[in-house]
Homo-oligomer: A and B are copies of this chain.
Amino acid sequence: MQTTTLSANRWPGLIERYRAFLPVTAETPVITLMEGNTPLVPAPAVERLIGRGVKVFVKTEGANPTGSFKDRGMTMAITKAVEAGSEAVICASTGNTSASMAAYAGRAGLRSYLVFPHGYVAAGKLAQALAHGSNLLPISGNFDAALAIVREISATLPITLVNSVNPFRLEGQKTAGFEVCDQLGGPPDILAIPVGNAGNISAYWKGFSEYKAKGFVDRTPQMWGFQADGAAPIVRGEPVENPQTIATAIRIGKPTSWHLATAALAESQGRIEAVTDGEILEAYKLLAREVGVVGDPASPASVAGITKFAAFIPDGSTIVCVTTGHGLKDPDTAVKTSGVGELTPVAADLDAVKRALGLN
């Protein structure tokens, strides 16, 4: 079978695309699902709320293969695990990390193990890990207990830990900063992002800083991080014992990358602020109904933040708001925010349908 010579322009996945910035060599066996290259969607509906010539884009990280930004770090973590000769990986997770680990481990031919707090995780949240063939084990303990156990297992057995303490995760995630600059034709003035464990804001900052250091851009954006009001340890300056928010992906009282986030905020002259669950849900509806993007419930925190703190945005700024997960990760919130209750059927009759839809 002869191959034609039309030039190939397939996106090769983020490791190949940003190879020069990552800890890989020509011999590294890259494990990729073509993650990255996620859409940067203009958001005129948000721009109208802010006015003053401010431009707003949404970086929809839910478009990654398993539906969240976690795939960026996982392609690196699994690639390096394979390169090191590992035959298995493990993590403690209640959601996106487990789905991503399971997919990449399956592709790489590695066994994967997932330990999580029993009763805390809905079955739907584990559907992807199950489909990808991960070994799941609930424990009678909280997330910290699960993390302590998987750390101990990876320290004593030839099983690689892929939680965010794995340093390659941050390396992969930083490529999102490169991508924003490449897609926009330069850095934004402000990068707005939900903050939970604080790894993502730290990774973007690392990406922007490295791009500037290597001369690809001539400046870096301000980092604006937004925490949920009931789970805002960095805003308050102290850990939150019992964090509460509908935005489960950022319901974290003691962020792992707290010090990295603090450095990013200081170096970029950025802001860290809190948004309420009500403000998050308003932004969720705005994004879904007028921009056309449904994220998981943590995602709209970035948009909620820039509209709440719009007074601090200089005229004519360009802002990129990161949404971190796919709306299909949490259909329940989608249904609830619609405010639509039980739907009552009408007769299969033209007039009845027109009447019910208010089209008479």
Contact = CB atoms under 8 A, between A and B. Distances in A.
Contact of A357 (B113, B186, B326): B113
A235 interface: no
A357 B327 contact: no
Given A33-B39, A131-B338, A291 B218 contact: no
Interface in A51-107: 60, 63, 65, 67, 103-104, 106-107
Contact of A139 (B107, B153, B346): B346
A139 B345 contact: yes
Contact of A9 (B126, B140, B183, B217): B183
A344 B10 CA distance: 44
Nearest to A291: B107
Interface string A335-360: 10110100111111110111011010
A37 B34 contact: no
A329 interface: yes
A72 to B, nearest CB: 14
B185 A8 contact: yes
B327 A131 contact: yes
B33 A293 contact: yes
A260 interface: no
Contacts of A349: 149
A292 to B, nearest CB: 3
Interface in A109-152: 109, 113, 115, 118-119, 123-124, 126-128, 130-133, 135-141, 145-146, 149, 152
A347 B219 CA distance: 51
Given A106-B290, A350-B152, A157 B115 contact: no
Given A60-B65, A294-B128, A186 B345 contact: no
A343 B137 contact: yes
Interface of A: 1, 3-11, 33-34, 37, 39-41, 60, 63, 65, 67, 103-104, 106-107, 109, 113, 115, 118-119, 123-124, 126-128, 130-133, 135-141, 145-146, 149, 152-153, 157, 159, 181-187, 189, 216-219, 284-285, 288-294, 314, 316-318, 326-329, 331-332, 334-335, 337-338, 340, 343-350, 352-354, 356-357, 359
A318 B3 contact: yes
B4 A106 contact: no
Interface centre among A104, A118, A131, A334 (most CB of B within 10 A): A131
A355 to B, nearest CB: 10
A123 B331 CA distance: 9
Contacts of A8: 182-185
Contact of A11 (B39, B346, B347): B39
